[in-house]
Amino acid sequence: MAQVRNKQVLLKNYVTGFPKESDMEIVEGSITLKVPEGSSDVVLLKNLYLSCDPYMRILMYKDTPSFTPGSPLYGFGVAKVLDSKHQDFQEGDYVWGVTGWEEYSIISSPENLFKIHHHTDVPLSYYTGILGMPGLTAYSGFFEVCGPKKGEYVFVSAAAGAVGQLVGQFAKLIGCYVVGSAGSKDKVDLLKSKFGFDEAFNYKEEHDLDAALKRYFPQGIDIYFELVGGKMLDAVLMNMRVHGRIAVCGMISQYTKEEHEGIKNTACLIYKRIRMQGFNVVDYYPLYPKFLEFLLPQIRNGEISCVEDIVGGLENGAAALVRVFNGHNIGKQVLSLMNDE
Amino acid sequence: MAQVRNKQVLLKNYVTGFPKESDMEIVEGSITLKVPEGSSDVVLLKNLYLSCDPYMRILMYKDTPSFTPGSPLYGFGVAKVLDSKHQDFQEGDYVWGVTGWEEYSIISSPENLFKIHHHTDVPLSYYTGILGMPGLTAYSGFFEVCGPKKGEYVFVSAAAGAVGQLVGQFAKLIGCYVVGSAGSKDKVDLLKSKFGFDEAFNYKEEHDLDAALKRYFPQGIDIYFELVGGKMLDAVLMNMRVHGRIAVCGMISQYTKEEHEGIKNTACLIYKRIRMQGFNVVDYYPLYPKFLEFLLPQIRNGEISCVEDIVGGLENGAAALVRVFNGHNIGKQVLSLMNDE
């Protein structure tokens, strides 16, 4: 059977510090567009959107279970099923879940693929963000891990990103006071004008994060949704209220450092009786149907919105991913393969 | 009415670094052994045992709500009621709770005093330790905060202290594997011979705490009962298992430092989905009756025991308290006033 081109984004070398475009390379492989005879539980995907996520940096370290140099990156994406030997998926289905950074992927144990029930009024790319892994992360992290109550004071870092922008909107929805931090004036404006944050600030313009937090939270913080780590976490710990909760979702400021910054204020956990909880969305997949039922109507009626930052073409994959770490993205960073021919 | 002598232990100055005996002074005041006329809700106590606890170091900082230089220290103790204008307490009652570091104390709002129902087979001093604040701390921290399950791997630091020795015994009682760390050979021997820890080690003899923990927990740690902070916490974070829990009860290694050590491995909270929870026994006082009902029979049948380190005489109060910070105490440090005349 005829083979077709399969462009791929490979990891070239393990990464130290900030990922650079040159840490990856684009190659042209080839693939037969048919699930191999005799295989079972295998699906063949045409990838449509690939999700650029902070956690992918962790998979570029040498000493963690990680991407393999010379092999394609993998991550979350949206795809169309071209062929299937798995009972849950049929040719023509749209799916989201873990796939390869390439035009076509063969997925041999698709337990991390979820069928998209066609919502023609919602962009398919949303399943890389608001309706996919980052959305469920924000939902489970905020509602399940933080246990928020109306009127509480909520702080979100990396608030303009895929997860942060949603956490802030969820918090407003239930009547919390919400402040977000981000790394540019444009992002700060977006938080206030588009996502309804009560306040927002540019952390790069604050020499004293403790003072900044005291300015926005004179009464202290009940809930901190942690996405950056390092100095921000240390400053937050000093400003938490008694019985505060910290959902530890990510630490993007640390992934690019050779040695993580030391957190000096962990004793505040005792003084303020704080619960600080790391979590991973994989533990919350069973909530996905409930999450969709909650969120789809909110998206349709405009109560909750999202901002995507879409880069087109697999050949721009490395560049798109790097944007997440230098903070050039505004909103959810997506790589679109829709126009790749 | 005649006055009697009232010896007191005063804070002389705010403390930096390790507390020294010279940071406190013993003075002789005087007191009338009668609750003043016209006052209500006031009790007069004769103090019998005073509890020397790590958290007291925190009250010696200048910049925290703290002891006042020139005034007596205060803390947990056991006392006899000499006079009372409070309906819950009668002359002759024994109580435990917050009192002054002095021979006699006037307590004007005794919401932190608890009546001791006379157990003649249990030493009164136990109400400074196993049956008092440290006991309820160990009980609530282990059972309520950690949510332990049979067969789990438990690590306790400062394990020979008032709280640690109990946590280890509770963990054994429900079928966990328990390892403790302490700061001397005698303490390590005590943990294994007296308290039934599966293993114990002297942290001062370990150059590499990460390696030590990997030796005792090749499969990782499910529950860490945190009493020391600093380097030990950093090493533990690297050795936690997925869904591990850390009850943050105290950080005695840090209280004596001008600047706390930085914890570099907080990202492990994410990778291992760890819950790290600070707590304070004050939130668990309602459990006290349930706690007594659980523990008294265990003490009587010898299933749970405790080791006390009792120093006699209020004039030795400063010396007794200092022992908690230089680690010279073996077991619960108590100051006895039973022979003070």
Closest residue in A to B267 (Cα–Cα): A251
A251, A270, A273: residue with CB nearest B270: A251
Reply yes or no on whether the pLDDT at B166 is more than 90: yes
Please tell me the distance from the alpha carbon of residue A247 to that of residue B121, in angstroms, as a whole number. 47
Closest residue in B to A262 (Cα–Cα): B262
Please tell me the distance from the alpha carbon of residue A248 to that of residue B268, in angstroms, as a whole number. 10
Q: Do residues A115 and A150 share a domain?
A: no
Residue A100 in domain: yes
Asked if A276 lies within 8 A of B272 by C-beta distance, the reply is no
Instruction: Write out chain A residues lying below 8 Å of B265, CB-based.
Output: 260
Q: What is the pLDDT of residues B123-152, one digit of tens each?
A: 999 999 999 999 999 999 999 999 999 999
Reply yes or no on whether the pLDDT at A326 is more than 80: yes
CB A209 within 8 A of CB A265: no
Please tell me the distance from the alpha carbon of residue A235 to that of residue A230, in angstroms, as a whole number. 9
Residue B341 in domain: no
Q: CA torsion A200→A203→A204→A208, rounded to 10°?
A: 130
Q: Do residues B242 and B156 share a domain?
A: yes
Q: What is the pLDDT of residues A307-319, one digit of tens each?
A: 999 999 999 999 9
Q: Do residues B122 and B140 share a domain?
A: no
Q: What's the confidence (pLDDT) of residue B2?
A: 82
Instruction: Tell me whether B236 touches chain A (CB under 8 Å).
Output: no
Q: Which of A7-11, A140-144, A228-232, B255-259 has the lowest mean pLDDT?
A: B255-259
A265, A273, A277: residue with CB nearest B275: A277
Q: What is the pLDDT of residues B277-290, one digit of tens each?
A: 999 999 999 999 99
Q: What's the confidence (pLDDT) of residue B262?
A: 96
Q: What's the confidence (pLDDT) of residue A174?
A: 97
Asked if A270 lies within 8 A of B251 by C-beta distance, the reply is yes
Instruction: Write out chain A residues lying below 8 Å of B236, CB-based.
Output: none
β-pair type (A332-336, B221-226):
unpaired
Reply yes or no on whether the pLDDT at B119 is more than 90: no
CB B122 within 8 A of CB B131: yes
Asked if A270 lies within 8 A of B283 by C-beta distance, the reply is no
Closest residue in B to A146 (Cα–Cα): B275
Q: Name the average pLDDT for chain B.
A: 95
Q: Do residues B227 and B110 share a domain?
A: no
Instruction: Tell me whether B65 touches chain A (CB under 8 Å).
Output: no
Q: Where residue B70 sits, what CATH number does that domain have?
A: 3.90.180.10
Domain that holds residue B250: 133-282
B225, B266, B281: best to mutate for the A interface, most A CBs within 10 A: B266
Instruction: Write out chain A residues lying below 8 Å of B250, CB-based.
Output: 270
Q: How many CB atoms sit inside 10 A of residue A192's CB?
A: 14
Closest residue in A to B65 (Cα–Cα): A271
Q: Do residues B77 and B179 share a domain?
A: no
Q: Do residues A151 and A264 share a domain?
A: yes
Instruction: Write out chain B residues lying below 8 Å of A229, CB-based.
Output: 266-267
For residue A77, give both structure tokens. 């994406």
Q: Please give the average per-residue pLDDT across A142-171, as a whole number.
A: 97
Instruction: Tell me whether A281 touches chain B (CB under 8 Å).
Output: no
Q: What's the confidence (pLDDT) of residue B296?
A: 95
A259, A262, A283: residue with CB nearest B261: A262
Q: Do residues B39 and B158 share a domain?
A: no
Q: What's the confidence (pLDDT) of residue A1?
A: 72
For residue B282, give both structure tokens. 């004050």
Q: What is the pLDDT of residues B290-326, one digit of tens each?
A: 999 999 999 999 999 999 999 999 999 999 999 999 9
Q: What's the confidence (pLDDT) of residue A64?
A: 76
What region does A337 belong to: left with phi over 0, alpha with psi -120 to 50, or beta?
alpha
What is the residue-wise DSSP string for B37-67? TT--S-EEEEEEEEE--GGGGGGGSTTSS--
Enumerate residues 74 to 113 of chain B having a beta carbon within 8 A of any beta carbon in chain A: none
Please tell me the distance from the alpha carbon of residue A245 to that of residue A222, in angstroms, as a whole number. 6
Which three-class secondary structure state does DSSP give residue B2? coil
B262, B270, B278: residue with CB nearest A270: B278
A266, A274, A283: residue with CB nearest B263: A266
Please tell me the distance from the alpha carbon of residue A80 to that of residue A60, in angstroms, as a whole number. 27
Q: What's the confidence (pLDDT) of residue A287?
A: 97
CA distance to partner chain B, nearest, from residue A127 (Å): 23
CA distance to partner chain B, nearest, from residue A277 (Å): 4
B254, B276, B279: residue with CB nearest A267: B254
Q: CA torsion A187→A190→A191→A195, rounded to 10°?
A: -150
Please tell me the distance from the alpha carbon of residue A175 to that of residue A150, in angstroms, as a whole number. 5
Please tell me the distance from the alpha carbon of residue B173 to that of residue B87, in angstroms, as a whole number. 39
SS3 track for A45-107: EEEEEEECCHHHHHHHCCCCCCCCCCCECEEEEEEEEEEECCCCCCCCCEEEEEEECECEEEE
CB B47 within 8 A of CB B40: no
Closest residue in B to A234 (Cα–Cα): B262
Q: Which long-range contacts (CB under 8 A, 24 or more apart) does B108-113 make?
A: B108/B39, B108/B41, B108/B42, B109/B41, B110/B41, B110/B42, B110/B43, B110/B86, B113/B43, B113/B89
CA distance to partner chain A, nearest, from residue B86 (Å): 30
Model ipTM over 0.90 = yes
Q: Do residues B9 and B101 share a domain?
A: yes
Asked if B268 lies within 8 A of A249 by C-beta distance, the reply is no
Q: What is the pLDDT of residues B36-78, one digit of tens each?
A: 888 888 999 999 999 999 999 999 988 777 899 999 999 999 9
B58, B262, B278: residue with CB nearest A264: B262
A259, A273, A275: residue with CB nearest B264: A259
Q: What's the confidence (pLDDT) of residue B40?
A: 87
Instruction: Write out chain B residues lying below 8 Å of A271, CB-based.
Output: 58, 278
Q: How many domains does chain A have?
A: 2
Reply yes or no on whether the pLDDT at A208 is more than 80: yes
Instruction: Write out chain A residues lying below 8 Å of B230, CB-based.
Output: none
CA distance to partner chain B, nearest, from residue A221 (Å): 16
Closest residue in A to B265 (Cα–Cα): A260
Residue B178 in domain: yes
Asked if A265 lies within 8 A of B261 by C-beta distance, the reply is no
Enumerate residues 136 to 195 of chain A having a beta carbon within 8 A of any beta carbon in chain B: none
Q: Do residues B148 and B274 share a domain?
A: yes
Reply yes or no on whether the pLDDT at B98 is more than 80: yes
β-pair type (A308-312, B43-51):
unpaired
Q: Where residue A171 sits, what CATH number does that domain have?
A: 3.40.50.720
Asked if A260 lies within 8 A of B276 by C-beta distance, the reply is no
Q: Do residues B221 and B319 share a domain?
A: no
Output DSSP code: residue A168. Answer: H
Count of A-B CB contacts under 8 Å = 94
The confidence band for A104, taking pLDDT boundaries of 50, 70 and 90, is: very high
Q: Look at the block and give the residue holding tokens 């992290």.
A: A141
Q: Please give the average per-residue pLDDT across A232-245, as a whole number.
A: 98
Residue A289 in domain: no
Asked if A248 lies within 8 A of B270 by C-beta distance, the reply is yes
Q: Do residues B178 and B221 share a domain?
A: yes
Q: Do residues B97 and B199 share a domain?
A: no
Residue A153 in domain: yes
Instruction: Tell me whether residue A331 is exposed, middle or buried, using C-beta atoms within 10 angstroms of its C-beta: 0 to 12, 13 to 18, 19 or more.
Output: buried
Residue B292 in domain: no
Q: What is the largest CA-CA distance in chain B?
A: 68
- Sequence letter at residue B174: I
Residue B295 in domain: no
Reply yes or no on whether the pLDDT at A250 is more than 80: yes
Asked if B263 lies within 8 A of A261 by C-beta distance, the reply is no
Residue B204 in domain: yes
Please tell me the distance from the alpha carbon of residue B166 to that of residue B135, in angstroms, as a whole number. 7
CA distance to partner chain B, nearest, from residue A249 (Å): 6
Q: What's the confidence (pLDDT) of residue B120?
A: 82
Output DSSP code: residue B300. Answer: H
